Amino acid sequence: MKKKYMIVGNWKMNKLIEESLGFIKKLAPEITDCDVDVLLAVPFTSIHPTSKAAEKTKIIIGAQNMNDARKGAFTGEIAGIMLEEAGAEFVILGHSERRQIFHETNDFINKKVERALQDDLMPILCIGETKEEKDKNKTEEVLKKQIKECLDKISKEDVENIKIAYEPIWAIGTGETATVVYAEKIHKFIREYLKQLFGKKCADNIYILYGGSVTPENVSILLKQKDIDGVLVGGASLDLESFLEIIKNSVGV
């Protein structure tokens, strides 16, 4: 059975509460009949109000990061149980900006993935290579290391509850998109490696999303690929018309 496509908007550090609520109020009635899963990763301050506004709609609200601890002396951090209490249903982990700007390691991300699962949050695990790694033909080596270390000690049953987002770092916010052939090739490689680690059934069931300058123009051709189950949308998710067009262009692909 074909998976229902997943469209995830990552707002990053954008939109105040009022603007977020206005966005959801306008988006919700437009996607009532769209047979895709629509997720929005909003800033922490907007999780509670937007999750309330999204009740009885097709929009699922989540977070962009969390700590691996449940509580304690971690100034400025937030726990998964806090996100869940506020109304988040999923959390993005290991985004390239967290890895590069905040120096997050695979080991730390692995601990976050474990904690998210314990706290009933669906993890969206981001992996991807830099331009330098790609140019040195190290893409597969880098991805294998990220997958193996970030999913260390995670059971087969739990892995099926994790979504993986492949984001070629060189294509994020640059306007440069991986060719469809390249994106599908990498997604197929990821699925084959997951098969080695967790078995065919598990690998087939896992959602693998593509993230990297996704637009209304390229989303349908991306989703036509066998191993691309959805998209992680950054900049284009901030504009209502653009994000809505991405969603509508995903229907019936």
Q: What is the CATH number of the domain that holds 65?
A: 3.20.20.70
Q: What is the mean pLDDT of the chain?
A: 96
Residue 59: phi, psi to the nearest 5? -95, 130
DSSP secondary structure, 148-194, as one string: HHHTTT--HHHHTT-EEEE--GGGSSSS----HHHHHHHHHHHHHHH
152-168 burial code (b ≥16 CB/10 A, e <16): eebeeebbbbbbbbbbb
On the question of pLDDT at 173 being above 90, the answer is no
What pLDDT was estimated at residue 212? 87
Print the domain residue range for 155: 6-248
Residue pLDDT, tens place only, 18-62: 999 999 999 999 999 999 999 999 999 999 999 999 999 999 999
pLDDT band at 213 (very low <50, low <70, confident <90, very high): confident
State the total domains in the chain. Answer: 1
What pLDDT was estimated at residue 1? 59
Looking at 95, 97, 129, 133, which residue is catalytic? Answer: 95
Question: Which residues fall within 8 angstroms of residue 81, CB to CB, at 6 or more apart?
Answer: 70, 119
pTM above 0.95, yes or no: yes
What pLDDT was estimated at residue 238? 98
| 30 annotated active-site | no
On the question of pLDDT at 174 being above 90, the answer is no
What pLDDT was estimated at residue 188? 99
Please report whether residue 103 resides in a domain: yes
Please report whether residue 21 resides in a domain: yes
What pLDDT was estimated at residue 172? 76
| 48 annotated active-site | no
Please report whether residue 253 resides in a domain: no
Please report whether residue 41 resides in a domain: yes
Mean pLDDT, rounded, for 137-147: 98
Please report whether residue 221 resides in a domain: yes
Looking at 104, 167, 184, 187, which residue is catalytic? Answer: 167
Please report whether residue 1 resides in a domain: no
